[in-house]
Every structure is written in structure tokens, then in C-alpha cells.
Amino acid sequence: MLIVADENIPLLDSFFEDIGEIRQVSGRELSAADVKDADVLLVRSVSRVDQALLAGSRVKFVGTATIGTDHVDVAWLASQGIHFASAPGCNANSVVEYVLSILSLHAERLDLKDWNTLSVGIVGAGNVGGALWRILCRLGIRVKAYDPVREALEAETGAPEKAETFSSLEAVLACDVVTLHTPLTRAGDFPTHGMIGRERLAALTENQLLINSGRGDVIDEAALLDRLASAGAPSVVLDVWEREPDINADLLRQVWLGTPHIAGYSLEGKIQGTEMIYQALCTFLGLPARKQSGQFMPEPPLSKLSFTRAAQAREAADVAMRSCYDPRRDDARFRHKMKVASEHPGQAFDQFRRDYPVRREFSSTKIQLKGTSRSLQDKFKALGFRLKL
């Protein structure tokens, strides 16, 4: 059995070497010739999987180690009897921690004593947005969420009390911080392609922060560039972009923080994505799934932090989060790489992602608390750190 796989999927050999021969290829440059004699195809979001790629091949299983599936023609695969599997929620926690880290920096920039004075609007409350919603509520932050698809589904399944917790898009876009977590859709009752366009961008003020770590095409970038050049523009953080990897360098220069689609790039998230498509392939082949991500998780570089009774809740949480992950580092490295490789921005974008350093999630770090308050303990628990009291 031949398995053709994106070379950037982690632990390919560890998970799949017992199943078949593995041929690693560039996901961005994947061609029909690469997959013609493959039985299994494993990809990431950079590869377009459709009839043009697979017609005439012998592929019977396609797996994407990502939560999104807009790069895959799922309907065509089904019509050809090709089994498809994705990894929904695999890196949700990683994206949530990216947003939480941004919120920490934003609160510090505004000189806020506590995040609780901020209101956060979530557009899209699926795996990522839903997890963020729950954590923010545990932290005592005011949250409004817009997800008409989930709202309708919960109403249909007999959970009207849950449906009532959703807000209108206008109410969500009026929050202090607006964070986007929708899939990319172009059809249906609630298409998301270009949903944050010129009119909605014009309504955002200089006191607001807009974060997009979902799909780049949800924002009209031409309109966003115009808005950022006008008076009273909001602060903007972008992790996803139109036309990746050939992003708009002018837009990168205008945003507060910019990163190259790495919000979900924690080691835990990436390995979990591999594990999920491994399990799906084992099920498809009728094989036992004997391997788990925990077998391959290395020791974290930062294993423990200690705080005493003198620690203040917000400052301690900021220190812990930024010790694990500080988005400003990625922003600085990304801008430098794009400047150096200004004639080849797409290559710089992909190289940054390919060579991305190991990033661990908050749960990999144990927090030792000596005589600290219950509120500080609760904050660390809500953020996902392990506690030692």
C-alpha cells in the first residue's frame, strides 16, 4: 500500500510506517502525477483535493490533518466512493490559546487592571469559537457569540435555552474585541466569504480590536486596507490571509500583529491532527489503532513555574501565558522574514510555517502556587494550566 503524504504532517513515520510505504511530497506543489499510483492521500490545508488531482488515480482514502475542509471537494470524493476523514477540533485549543495571548497583550496595551472590563464578541462558535466562549466565561469575561447555523441546530434539537444565548452579528461586532472563527462558505443561508466587508469594517472604531484566526477570505482585505488607512481605524490582528501564501505585504505593515497561519501550530494540536487521521485510516482498513499521540510527546522545554502569595492574578497569568507563547515573537520573525524575502513573499510565508519552532500548550506547564488566592488558582485552571498547590 502506498501512502502519499504532505511532508509537513508531523510523525508520519511513527503513525503510518506499519500500514504502508510512505512517500512524502510538498503539499503546496502536490500534483496528479504525485498521487497517480497512491492508495492513500494525506494532506493539510495547502493542498486542493478535487477531481483535477485525483481523477484516474487509485486513491481510496483521503485524510486531512486539519479542522477545515474547504480545500477538499468532499462531494466529488463521495461520488467516487473515496472515503474522506478530517481532524475536527484537533488544534482548537492551540487557536484558543493564541487568542487568549492576544487578549493579554491587548489588555496590557490599554493598561487594564483586569480583562473583565473587556467584552469579547465571537463570530463562529464551533470547535474553536465554542471552546473560547467557555474559557472566557470561566474567566468572568462578558461574551457575545454569533453562530446562526449552530443556533438553528440547537433550536431544532430541543435546546432552545442554548439558542437564546446567541446574539446578533451587529451586537457581536459592537464588542471591545471581535474574534472570527467561522468556516469559509460561499453558499447557503449564511455564507461567510467576505462577510466582514466595507460596511461592517467602517462601523468598527479605534477602541476595538479585530482578530482573524479562522479563514482569510472572511474579511474583504481591500476594504480592510482602506479602513486601516482612514481615521479612527480599529486595531487588527491577522493570522489568516487572502491568497495565502502570496499575502498582501502592505496589509501586513498596517496590522498591529501579523502571523502566517500558525495560530493552531502547537505541537499538541499538530500531533493530534495526525492521530485523528491515523485512527480514521485504521477504521477504514479494519486495523487496530495501537498508537496514540501521548507515546510521542516529548518533554516540554518549560515544565514548571512557581508563584507565591505576593503574586497578583493578572500579572501572574500574563507571565505564565507569555512564557509558553508570546505572539509578538512570531510577528517580529514573520515581518523580518517577509522583509528579507520581499521578492518572494510566498516562499517566506511557507518557509516560516515549515520551520516553525516547537510550541507547547499551556497544559504542558505545571504551575506551583504557594499560599496564593483562590481567584488566582481559578484563573490558572480556566486557562488550562496544571496546578500544584
Percent above pLDDT 90 for the chain: 87
> How confident is the model at residue 305, as a pLDDT?
96
Question: What residues does each domain of the chain span?
Answer: 2-86+266-296, 92-258, 304-388
User: Looking at residue 345, what is its pLDDT?
Assistant: 86
The predicted pLDDT at position 163 comes to 45
Please compute the mean of the pLDDT values over residues 161-177 and round it to a whole number.
Answer: 85
Q: Which residues pair with 49 in a beta bridge?
A: 72
pLDDT (tens digit per residue) in 9-25: 999 999 999 999 999 99
Pick from 70-84, 155-169, 262-276: least confident:
155-169
Instruction: Tell me the pLDDT tens digit for each residue of 53-67.
Output: 999 999 999 999 998
Q: Categorize the per-residue pLDDT at 158 as very low, low, confident or very high, splitting at 50, 70 and 90.
A: low
**Lateral strand order in the sheet of 304-308:** 304-308, 366-370, 386-388
pLDDT, residue 159, reads 59
- Give all strands of the β-sheet with 2-6 in edge-to-edge order: 21-25, 2-6, 40-43, 61-64, 83-85
Mean pLDDT over all residues of the chain?
Answer: 94
Nearest to 361 by CA among 65, 95, 179, 130: 95
- Over 70: is that where the pLDDT of 152 sits? yes
pLDDT tens per residue, range 202-221: 999 999 999 999 999 999 99
Which parts of 211-285 fold into alpha helices (H)? 221-228, 249-254, 267-285
Superfamily the domain 2-86+266-296 falls into: NAD(P)-binding Rossmann-like Domain (3.40.50.720)
Residue 2 has pLDDT above 80, yes or no: yes
Domain 2-86+266-296 matches domain 92-258 at the CATH topology level: yes
Q: Report the sign of the C-alpha dihedral through residues 56, 61, 66, 69, in that order.
A: positive
pLDDT at 156 over 90: no
Q: For 83-108, what is the mean pLDDT?
A: 97
CATH 3.50.50.60 fits 92-258, yes or no: no
Per-residue pLDDT reduced to its tens digit, 309-340 = 888 888 999 999 999 999 999 999 999 999 98
**Active-site residue list:** 215, 244, 261
Its CATH class, for the domain covering 304-388, is alpha beta
Identity of the residue numbered 57: S
Residue 126 has pLDDT above 50, yes or no: yes
Mean pLDDT of 186-199: 95
